[in-house]
Amino acid sequence: MDLETFPAPPLDPTPDILNNLRIRLRDALHERGLRTKEMADLPEFPSITEWKAAAQVLLKRLDRDSIRVLLMLDEVEYLTPDNVDVAEGGLPQIAQLLGAFRSLVQETPNFTFLLSGLTSAITEGGRLYGRPNPLFSWAKAYYLAPFLRGEADELATTVGRKMGIDIDPSGLAALQDGSGGYAFLYRSLASAVVQSLPEDAPSRTIRAGEVDRAFLPWKRRVAGNVKEMMDHVKRYYPLESWLLDILIDEPESFGELAAVDPQALQHLLDLGLVIEVDHHYELNSLLELMR
């Protein structure tokens, strides 16, 4: 389910989410010839307790046939926008809904749920809309970090080989440095380099020189994408964004200031925006695309 399509706080999205979930689960079960009675019998806009009670019965029956249910909620940042008080705002239903999901995970062996989006804030605060956060210290956050050099090399050489393109070590290093290892940027830069190669050459090989020649035009084309990425950091991770500015302008002060909030520093490391090298911190080369 894409949460972008539902109302966002300060409006309450929970009635629409539950109704859509009722319909989607009912239809998915029907398509597979599975039991739908519990979802079909629910009212059009069930309460959280009504939906949870029906889901408990349904999941126990499905478990007898080894049927598992995975609920995936995308664009989770729409539940915790930056213009509302996520900790003490007046929408306890959102915390109650997530609490119902957590309870189902703990009580039924065949249900789990996944949240994805631009921020992990919904799992990291002790309070959520005036209630204890049911996901705090329970949910596990996984960051889509940049490719490691070995991962990027393997992907690029495998895909390149299928296209009749060789990439020598200097070319692989230049692709990694130019994109910062971020999947979208890496693929985009590699594509720009491939398009710049002569089609009639007997051997199509990417070296550092080919990457360097394609880099500046490509940098201009992706400037908007990079700005949007950094704007997301500023919007959802304001302290981390401030620390990035410190590392850019006053790198000698970064270590001391970052030590004051180790969680913010860990976010920067998890996001791959900052790299720890020999007990000091450096910017990912992605930040060079902002200059």
Q: What is the DSSP string of 119-183?
A: --HHHH-SEETTEE-TTTTTS-----PPPPHHHHHHHHHHHHHHTTEEE-HHHHHHHHHHHTT-H
Average pLDDT on 178-185 reads: 92
Give the pLDDT confidence score for residue 121 in this predicted structure: 84
Beta bridge mates, 113: 71
Q: Which residues, 6+ apart, have CB-to-CB distance to 253 below 8 Å?
A: 246
Q: Where are the domains of the chain?
A: 3-132, 149-290
Give the pLDDT confidence score for residue 288 in this predicted structure: 72
Query: Does residue 227 contact residue 253 with C-beta atoms inside 8 Å?
Result: no
- Arithmetic mean of pLDDT over the chain: 92
Residue type, 253: S
pLDDT band at 79 (very low <50, low <70, confident <90, very high): very high
Average pLDDT on 221-230 reads: 90
Beta bridge mates, 132: 127
Give the pLDDT confidence score for residue 185 in this predicted structure: 94
Please write the tens of the pLDDT for every residue from 152-165: 999 999 999 998 89
DSSP string, 73-118: EB-GGGGS-TTS-TTT-S-HHHHHHHHHHHHHHHH-TTEEEEE-SS
Three-state secondary structure call for residue 237:
coil
Give the pLDDT confidence score for residue 279 in this predicted structure: 82
d(CA 251, CA 188): 30
Query: Does residue 149 contact residue 176 with C-beta atoms inside 8 Å?
Result: yes
Give the residue from 192, 148, 156 showing the smallest Cα distance to 172.
156
Tokens of 161: 């080989």
Give the pLDDT confidence score for residue 82 in this predicted structure: 83
Give the pLDDT confidence score for residue 83 in this predicted structure: 85
Give the pLDDT confidence score for residue 240 in this predicted structure: 93
Give the residue from 84, 181, 180, 73 showing the smallest Cα distance to 117.
73
**Does residue 201 carry a pLDDT above 70?**
no
d(CA 143, CA 267): 9
Q: What is the CA radius of gyration of the chain?
A: 24
Give the pLDDT confidence score for residue 96 in this predicted structure: 97
Name the more confident of 124 and 26. 26
**Does residue 92 carry a pLDDT above 80?**
yes
Range with lowest mean pLDDT among 43-47, 97-101, 140-144 = 140-144
Give the pLDDT confidence score for residue 286 in this predicted structure: 80
Give the pLDDT confidence score for residue 71 in this predicted structure: 97
DSSP 2: B
Give the pLDDT confidence score for residue 202 in this predicted structure: 63
**Does residue 172 carry a pLDDT above 90?**
yes
Q: CB atoms < 10 A from the CB of 10, how many? A: 12
Name the more confident of 202 and 252. 252
